[in-house]
Amino acid sequence: MAPKDQQPKKLPLFPLLSLLCFASIFLALSLSKRASISYETIHFRSTPTVTSTPCNYSHGSWIYDPNWIPNKYDSTCKEIFKGWNCIAGNKSNAKDIIKWRWQPNGCDLPPFDPVRFLQTFRDTSIGFVGDSLNRNMFVSLFCSLKRVSSDVKKWRPVGADRGFTFLLYNLTIAYHRTNLLVRYGRWSANANGGELESLGYKEGYRVDVDIPEGTWADAPSFHDVLIFNTGHWWWAPSKFDPVKSPMLFFEKNRPLIPPVLPAVGLDKVLKHVILFVERQMRPGGIKFFRTQSPRHFEGGDWDQGGSCPRLQPLSPEKVEELFSLKNNGTNVESRLVNQHLFKALKGSTFHILDITHMSEFRADAHPATAGRKKHDDCMHWCLPGITDTWNDLFIMHLNSIKARN
């Protein structure tokens, strides 16, 4: 037993305080981490998920978020073609269209930052070359950039249908309209006869597979970045009737004999266009080919009473029903064209911008009756709308290419 006058030993104060501080810090970090995980479970992350393998952004699903308000542009952008302005056209689900966000499997596709894009691509020229669906995408990009930088010069560089330069950044974007990518025009039989005349052809459309259309022939030597598309006009019987006004393909100024079908003509055009662009593109230029944008006509084609009344994205099962090559339905065009594109682009220096599958779900995002046409517009897209997501994907790829280079 200890003597009465012996005092109990006191614990040193400094180690005790250190232990308490360490425990507090550990607890705070743990709670912070849990809060972060909980937040990310409910909300979309603003930066891409880091994955060990490259992400396939073309496969995923559309997630509805009623609180999502894209900070890009609205229906007041004057460049929006009136038939695509679904909010002004009073389409019933127009404001809901932009509340669906594309969620790739295993990673994220965040909205691009317009200010950062202008800063990163200062002194750059970007050209969209193709049909009106590429104009759809061009207008989406313009409106996003115009919202944050209003000092704009309007002009038409090297054959463009329309173009703009954002003066504070010297960044130009332009749209070059071309339906088939190559030169074409009306053809009539010569009274003196010829190879086609001897086969009974009296009229049609001459398509020169090896001559780029003048609206964009100078674009590769002018622009730093090009985005091409084609496809919608290749199977358009209202324009190229296979009996009354067939497509008659020429190469080296001579008709292809025997005459070939549009599918063969498309292959030849793609081959020549890809070689032409790779020869003419300015040094360091970046080339994209966008895959086919799907149509969503149900109950018949556009001139057969077809419509697109849906107000929500399609289920995966319905997508396959409408677009499967096996079913050979009204909207089979998109996957059919893509087969030709992928074959032609193999081995080239083009980057593929694959927007087809993500767009196949969005039967709800076309102007439909709000397009102010005599028929439902189930081909073009509402703006704001899905082409905003196309540009998110395009700019994500563009940033990745720039970082690698």
Give the residue from 158, 133, 313 showing the smallest Cα distance to 223. Answer: 158
SS3 category, 402: helix
Residue showing tokens 């990745």 = 400
Which residues make beta-bridge pairs with 351? 288
Both tokens of 262, joined, read: 């549009």
How many residues in total does the chain contain? 405
Helix or strand run (H / E) with residue 101: strand 100-104
Whole-prediction pTM: 0.85
SS3 category, 21: helix
d(CA 243, CA 19) in angstroms, rounded, equals 89
What ranges in 212-286 are assigned the alpha helix state H?
262-280
Using CA atoms in the order 86, 89, 92, 94, what is the torsion angle rounded to 10 degrees? 20
Number of Cβ within a 10 Å radius of residue 161: 16
The pLDDT of residue 373 is 84
Spell out the residues 6+ positions from residue 73 whose beta carbon is closer than 8 angstroms to its own. 143, 144, 146, 147, 384
d(CA 5, CA 376) in angstroms, rounded, equals 101
The pLDDT of residue 46 is 30
DSSP helix, strand, coil percent of the chain (3-state; round to 5): 35, 20, 50
SS3 category, 116: helix
What ranges in 189-332 are assigned the alpha helix state H?
195-198, 262-280, 316-323
Q: Following DSSP, what letter does each residue of 293-304 receive, concatenated?
A: PPP--BSS-GGG
Phi, psi of 385 (to 5 degrees): 175, -145
SS3 category, 158: helix
The pLDDT of residue 1 is 40
The pLDDT of residue 48 is 36
The pLDDT tens digits along the chain (405 residues) read 444 344 434 444 444 444 444 444 444 444 333 333 222 222 323 333 333 457 889 999 999 999 887 778 999 999 999 999 999 999 999 999 999 999 999 899 999 999 999 999 999 999 999 999 999 999 999 999 999 999 999 999 999 999 999 999 999 999 999 999 999 999 999 999 999 999 999 999 999 999 999 999 999 999 999 999 999 999 877 788 888 999 999 999 999 999 999 999 999 999 999 999 999 999 999 999 999 999 999 998 877 888 999 999 999 999 999 999 988 888 889 999 999 999 999 999 999 999 999 999 999 999 999 988 888 999 999 999 999 999 999 999 999 999 998
Task: State the amino acid at position 318 in one-letter form.
Answer: K
d(CA 358, CA 61) in angstroms, rounded, equals 7
The pLDDT of residue 68 is 81
d(CA 133, CA 120) in angstroms, rounded, equals 26
The pLDDT of residue 287 is 98
The pLDDT of residue 53 is 59
Residue 6 is classified by DSSP as P
Burial per residue of 67-99, b for 16 or more beta-carbon CB atoms within 10 angstroms, e otherwise? eeeeebbbbebebbeebbbbbebebebbeebbb
Question: What are the distances in angstroms from CA 351 to CA 105, 109, 123?
Answer: 21, 18, 22
**What's the Rg (C-alpha) of the chain?**
28
